[in-house]
Amino acid sequence: MAEQHLPERQSPLEPEYHPGSHGNFEHGVDVILSETRPGSILQLAAWPGEEKRLIEIVRKVTGLALPDGAGGGVSSGGRAAFGFAPGKFTVVDEAEGLAQALAGSITPAIGTLTDLSHGRTAIRIAGPKAEWVMAKFFAIDFALPAFPLGAGRSTNHHDIFAQIQRSGADQFDIYVFRSFARSFWKALCHASEEVGYEVQ
């Protein structure tokens, strides 16, 4: 039997994705923008009282020790997970197939699993001015003590719903609907012009 290959997803950012330095970069680049393209982006929701069982399943399958409660998160080895509401989690893997790996264990009695891989775009912003640019969009305290490494938040910018995880000291991964990704990307580039940015 021939091996089946899924078609490669085309990025919604392509027409507006221009690698190189932009904006006011004469004195250096303070922000780096990129699209990360993870293979799996999942949303998990546990029924009331089943949160610990769902967290244990995620740990067994992914090796990620999710904190119990909204806002906490973790990342390791190309995988990341964070709580964005009570009993609700976003789980990301560089590789495809995580939905199938979890599907057998997350039964309807425990909660739900929704594969968002084809419905979300992952954008990364990094650099010394990443917090400053992010604060232009979202009414969130992005300082490290208030938004620690691995933590996640669920919010929106105008009509664009976003889930954000701090994936580094000066780095955030933003997950937005594919249909809004291009307009959000353009706004992010525009907001970064002042400090100089590079698209990688």
pLDDT digits (tens, 9 = 90+) for 6-31: 556 678 888 889 999 998 888 889 99
Whether 185 has a pLDDT exceeding 70, the answer reads yes
Query: Model pTM greater than 0.85?
Result: yes
* Structural domains of the chain ordered from first start: 16-37+119-199 (3.30.1360.120), 40-115 (3.30.70.1520)
Q: Would you say 79 and 93 are in contact if contact means Cβ atoms under 8 Å apart?
A: yes
User: Angle 50-41-114 (CA atoms, 0-180°, nearest 5)?
Assistant: 50
Whether 4 has a pLDDT exceeding 60, the answer reads no
pLDDT digits (tens, 9 = 90+) for 73-96: 888 888 999 988 889 999 999 999
Q: Give the integer Cα–Cα distance in Å for 91 and 58.
A: 9
